[in-house]
Structure 1
């Protein structure tokens, strides 16, 4: 199911000069803010919780997921270069699975690792906050990658749609509308963090059993449907 050649080409595309520069911005900003807070304010569990929840998990993880998830296949479909890959003797579900692995790896590397480091900078992992949000970022990275990879296969405006979901649906509606929180990757991830850190430092609107089920269902369903979408793409000359 995993193709090293497809993975290598995808890594090159996602980590190209422009995208790589964008990917470093948010983690760098998180670490800069965390360092400044620790220097001027000292270790503070509440501030650590607010920064890792409000910036790392709510902003950085989904935005990096958008860049990595859509970037693994969206540009290839837009410029038509996907036909060269589809003409090779590689099964299309294998292509999707390989690109998903790349998207997950990139999202985790640029979101979960900085979250862990920022958590230790902020309060030395007091109350297990650094570990809690790192776990949330890891599982959130999987769901976001699958979701945005799917969007990349169904729309030429994948980045715009991804940003609308991340910033408007989760960032705005998810905070103002109670029902919207149930359909939020961020809230599902927060449920995992809450289980590790405790109710006093993380707040999720979704229970842990529901969160786990939704993370699995969305990841599997999005990956499957992305594979189906790629199957129906026709090469020039195909009937």
Structure 2
């Protein structure tokens, strides 16, 4: 990791427009959690019904919608603007390994997702259940795992495609949020489902009663998440080597 690259990337990702979008998503999640808890009335939030509602909301909205969109903003914002305006050539001209540049940018994107996505999911779980229990912790762990993989994938898309926002939105909203939850065959190829395996493991024996189920087992989910994260980071580094310094 390179401190200078990390600083420049943080400024780019947390620019005025992106910062606003990054704030709106977790605020929306927390508002939904507060409203849902209020509408639940006097029901026991620490009971099975309260936990089930929290798990459904955190995983169905937080993990399936908020996390991919946050990672899309962070992952593409970490390198996309530099490629679009050509300023990436100044960074590539420095005596830095391409892998160092990419890994640093991926780590910054992960940090942003952790701050704006994982922490609000954890807080939302506490708000919904009234405790720092299996639902809140499981959802946070699953969100962190998904955020890491999504950040690497979306940064790779920013390197290989000029239409990364369109492609990323189609992937996040259609494949992950819709097809990945409904179509049985596609579920095994979904980062969402792989991450739910970790959430399910943290929830333990209560996972089935809470409606937390994954299409893959914990070992398979963990292995696939690792392979996708490492593979996307490696391929992004390789593709970055093909960018000519003379490009506009």
The TM-score, its normalising length taken from structure 1, stands at 0.95
Contact 2:75 2:106 in 1 (8 A): yes
Which of 138, 155, 158 in structure 2 is aligned with 1:149?
155
The residue number in structure 1 matching 2:145 is: 139
Which of 69, 82, 85 in structure 2 is aligned with 1:76?
82
The residue number in structure 2 matching 1:7 is: 6
Contact 2:66 2:117 in 1 (8 A): yes
Which ranges of structure 2 fall in alignment gaps of 5 or more residues?
Answer: none
Which ranges of structure 1 fall in alignment gaps of 5 or more residues?
Answer: none
The residue number in structure 2 matching 1:173 is: 179
- Is 1:16 equivalent to 2:25 in the alignment? no
Matching of residues 1-239 of structure 1 within 5 Å: 2-42=1-41, 43=45, 44-125=50-131, 128-197=134-203, 198-201=207-210, 202-236=212-246
Q: CA deviation at 1:127?
A: 5.5
**Alpha-carbon distance in 2 for matches of 1:127, 1:85:** 45
**Alpha-carbon distance in 2 for matches of 1:56, 1:171:** 10
When residues 127 and 101 of structure 1 are mapped into structure 2, their CA distance, relative to the original with a 3 A threshold, is: closer
Q: CA deviation at 1:224?
A: 0.4
The TM-score, its normalising length taken from structure 2, stands at 0.92
**Alpha-carbon distance in 2 for matches of 1:216, 1:230:** 21
Q: How many residues align?
A: 236
SS of alignment partner, residue 188 of structure 2 = helix
**Alpha-carbon distance in 2 for matches of 1:190, 1:206:** 9
Contact 2:110 2:147 in 1 (8 A): yes
Q: CA deviation at 1:40?
A: 3.0
Deviations 1:167-214 (A, max 9, x none): 111122223321111111100010100111123221111111110110
Q: Over aligned residues, Cα RMSD in angstroms?
A: 1.3
**Alpha-carbon distance in 2 for matches of 1:23, 1:234:** 32
Deviations 1:147-183 (A, max 9, x none): 1111110001111111111111112222332111111
